[in-house]
């Protein structure tokens, strides 16, 4: 009984630590505020407004394409936050670094995942974004974040892009464990668990509370997840 309580408390502490980002996955990120946008000039202003012609003009006149604002956001990061796909495409064509990070350690790909912006996500991957990059304050990868949020198509695309399946974040969780613990057992997170298991994610990795993904699924009575995870583990339901 004492061990069971200890495990529950450890898992609860980790969930509490993540509470600030659990609802949307984006709360730890800091997109440009309206005040930021109002005071932007040059490439940042053009990126914030999605002005492709102005971006091309300014870079042609010698502005550095990866110039940073006060929070280390490049024009490309600004375009990603504001969902300006054509502007992001233009900046990449003009030499912008797809792996640049802001002061919170988020890159273009992490931003696209948090916002469920599939067009920006595909643009990032197609232009050299690193699918295995460790970003943000919790040392997540894009795959961990996508699994957390139940963005199934992004999860599958990242698996195809050879993103590391079993990376453990700062909370001691893999993408598979994250999908169970923060997924509420809904259909998208069930599909995420299935995609990860089919890609041979390691189901036996334990978190800091000594619990596997299957143990977490059982603790929450997530029947569909239990079936998927128990089958691959060769255990009885």
Which of 94, 118, 137 lies at the terminal end of a domain, its last residue? 137
97 with 169, same domain? no
pLDDT score at 28:
81
Total domains present in the chain: 2
State the pTM of this model. Answer: 0.88
**How many helices, marked H, and strands, marked E, lie in the chain?**
14, 0
CATH number of the domain enclosing 34: 1.25.40.20
120 with 171, same domain? no
Under DSSP, is residue 86 helix (H, G, I), strand (E, B) or coil?
A: helix
42 with 64, same domain? yes
39 with 128, same domain? yes
150 with 132, same domain? no
95 with 36, same domain? yes
Residue 221 tokens read as 């009575």
51 with 112, same domain? yes
13 with 91, same domain? no
163 with 177, same domain? yes
**Domain span holding position 199:** 1-23+139-237
pLDDT score at 234:
65
Q: Phi/psi of residue 140, each to 5°?
A: -80, 160
Question: Which residues are paired to 140 by β-bridges?
Answer: 135
Q: Following CA atoms 223, 224, 226, 231 in sequence, which dihedral angle do they give, to the nearest 10 degrees?
A: 140
147 with 119, same domain? no
Which of 87, 115, 137 lies at the terminal end of a domain, its last residue? 137
pLDDT score at 235:
55
Query: What is the pLDDT tens value at each position of the chain, 237 positions in all?
Result: 444 444 444 444 454 444 334 444 445 899 999 999 999 999 999 999 999 999 999 999 999 999 999 999 999 999 999 999 999 999 999 999 999 999 999 999 999 999 999 999 999 999 999 999 999 999 999 999 999 999 999 999 999 999 999 999 999 999 999 999 999 999 999 999 999 999 999 999 999 999 999 999 999 999 999 999 999 876 544
Which of 89, 121, 137 lies at the terminal end of a domain, its last residue? 137
- CA distance linking residue 222 with residue 176, whole number of Å: 14
93 with 10, same domain? no
154 with 197, same domain? yes
């Amino acid at each position: 009984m004492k061990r069971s309580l200890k495990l529950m408390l450890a898992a609860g502490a980790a969930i509490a630590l993540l509470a600030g980002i659990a609802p949307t996955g984006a709360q730890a990120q800091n997109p440009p505020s309206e005040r930021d946008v109002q005071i932007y000039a040059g490439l940042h202003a053009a990126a914030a407004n999605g002005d492709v012609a102005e971006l091309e003009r300014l870079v042609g006149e010698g502005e550095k394409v990866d110039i940073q604002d006060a929070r280390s956001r490049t024009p490309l990061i600004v375009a990603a936050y504001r969902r300006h796909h054509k502007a992001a495409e233009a900046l990449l064509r003009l030499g912008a670094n797809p792996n640049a990070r802001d002061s919170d350690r988020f890159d273009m790909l992490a931003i696209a995942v948090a916002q469920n912006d599939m067009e920006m996500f595909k643009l990032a991957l197609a232009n050299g974004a690193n699918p295995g990059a460790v970003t943000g304050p919790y040392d997540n990868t894009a795959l961990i974040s996508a699994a957390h949020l139940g963005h199934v198509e992004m999860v599958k695309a990242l698996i195809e892009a050879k993103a590391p399946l079993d990376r453990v974040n700062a909370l001691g969780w893999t993408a598979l464990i994250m999908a169970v613990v923060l997924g509420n057992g809904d259909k998208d997170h069930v599909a995420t668990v299935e995609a990860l298991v089919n890609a041979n994610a390691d189901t036996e990795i334990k978190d800091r509370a000594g619990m596997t993904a299957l143990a977490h699924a059982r603790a929450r009575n997530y029947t569909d997840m239990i079936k998927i995870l128990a089958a691959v583990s060769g255990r009885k339901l």
